[in-house]
Every structure is written in C-alpha cells, then in structure tokens.
Amino acid sequence: MGKLSGKYAIVTGGGKGIGETIVNRFLVDGIEGVAVLEYDGKLLEQLISDLGEVGDKVLPIQCDVSNEAQVKTAVAQAVERFGSVDILVNNAGITRDSMFHKMADDAWDAVVNVNLKGPYHLCKYVIPIMRNQAYGRIVNISSVSAFGNAGQANYAASKAGLIGFTKTLAKEGGPKNIIVNCVAPGYIETDMYNNVPQEIITEHMKLIPLRRLGQPNEVASAVSFLASDDASFISGQCLIISGGATT
C-alpha cells in the first residue's frame, strides 16, 4: 500500500521534466490511475513506452491547458476512465523571458495563459467534482520567481498569481475537504532551466546554501507528500524548494 493507493490524479505538463517525474513518483507511491495532460503528443507516446507495463495506469491526453474547451474535454475523459479526480497537479508552465521594457505583448499573454489561466481552467472543471465527493488535493507548481526576478515579469506575475489562487482556493475548499497547496522551486535541472544563461546560473549558485541546482525528483517527492493524506492538515501553503536560497 503506497500513500496514494486508491487515488486518481490529473497531472498537467507530465510529458517531461518535473511533470514526468511527478507522474513516476505517483506511480511508485501507489496511485491507482493518472491522466497526463500534455501539449506535445510525441512526449506522451514516449512516456507510455518508457513506463512499460505500469503505463496501463496512465491515461495520456493531448491537451493545451490554455485552451478551455480542450481542458473541459480532457477532464471529462479522465472522469470517464477513472470515475473521479482526487488529485490535481497544475504543473504545465512556460517561460518567455525578457526585460519588461522590451517584452512583447504576446510573450506576456502566452505565459499568463499557460501558467495562470491553465490552472484556472483545470480548477474550473475539477473543483466541482472534488466538492461533490468532499475530497480533493490540489498542488500548484509556482516558482521562487514569484517573489521577483529580473527578466521574468510575465512569469513572476503568473507564478505569484498562482500563490494567491492557491491560498484562496484553500480557504474556499477547506469545508469540503479540498486541500490546496503550492510548491515554489528554485532552479531545477530540466529543459526549462536550459534556457537560462550560464552567467545567471553561476551567479545564482553562489546564493544557494546547498551549492547545487535541484533535481526534478526533489520537487516530485514534496508534491507527492502534499497530494497524500500525510499532509491532511496542511493547506494554503507555499513550500519553497530551493536548496535553502532565499529570494
């Protein structure tokens, strides 16, 4: 019996990076079924093939979280296959970095639409299910950039918005046994991190007491804890996962 036994989850952006690692961690922790909503169909094919037999527990759904109609359909598919959604992880996220005075409108819109409106779409269709069953665990993936990071005004605004969204949903959902938390990772070694210029990483490393970057499994373990009943009296929190770095 794992700590997620008997539970069904939706994980967005689960085709690679932190999201893929969360899916794998959920499977290790005994999840009954997990719908993976991912933009890139090829990543989904690869995920299922990499998982082998345990891939039977995974429902791959190609979906752009910024598109409400696609999210509505995807949540319906997950419910049709699994019968419920107990856990939602809003992980899909993108960056389009530039200094604010040079930032194009479409860079602002793209980031806010995926990182903040995406979780809004998911919650819009998942929270009624959780309210009906009087059980839900939502984990949103924010970022330490929420506290301010030059070159990321769009990303920081979206991730800070996600913290306020989390804390509000926690207050509203509590009476229905819906627990909502977020994590705010620092630099984690994934494809997203590959976009960050080396000189920024070198400078940033000096501010990390552990003197190294984080790994996706170090985020996934915290997400699995917050999604489980081990965290049954923790709600509305933002757990910073940054090797001790303060912002």
Please report, as ranges, the residues that interact with ligand NDP according to CB under 6 A.
12-13, 15-19, 37-40, 43, 63-66, 91-94, 114, 141, 143, 185, 187-188, 190-193
DSSP 74-86: HHHHHHHHHS---
Is 8 marked active-site?
no
Measured from the CB atom, is 115 or 135 closer to ligand NDP? Answer: 115
Shorter beta-carbon distance to ligand NDP: residue 177 or 215: 215
* Closer by beta carbon to ligand NDP, 73 or else 133: 73
Residue 10 three-state SS = strand
Tell me the residue ranges of DSSP E strands in the chain.
8-12, 33-38, 58-62, 87-90, 136-141, 178-185, 238-241
Phi-psi region of 244 (alpha: psi -120 to 50; beta: other; left: phi over 0): left
Beta bridge partners of 12: 37
How far apart, in whole angstroms, are the C-alpha atoms of residue 97 and residue 2?
Answer: 39
CB 159 within 8 A of CB 95: no
Residue 235 CB: number of other CB atoms within 10 A?
21
The CA dihedral of 239, 240, 244, 247, to the nearest 10 degrees, is -140
Smaller CB separation from ligand NDP, 15 or 173: 15
Instruction: Decide whether 82 or 155 has the Cβ nearer to ligand NDP.
Output: 155
Catalytic residue among 39, 125, 135, 155: 155
Residues assigned a catalytic role: 155
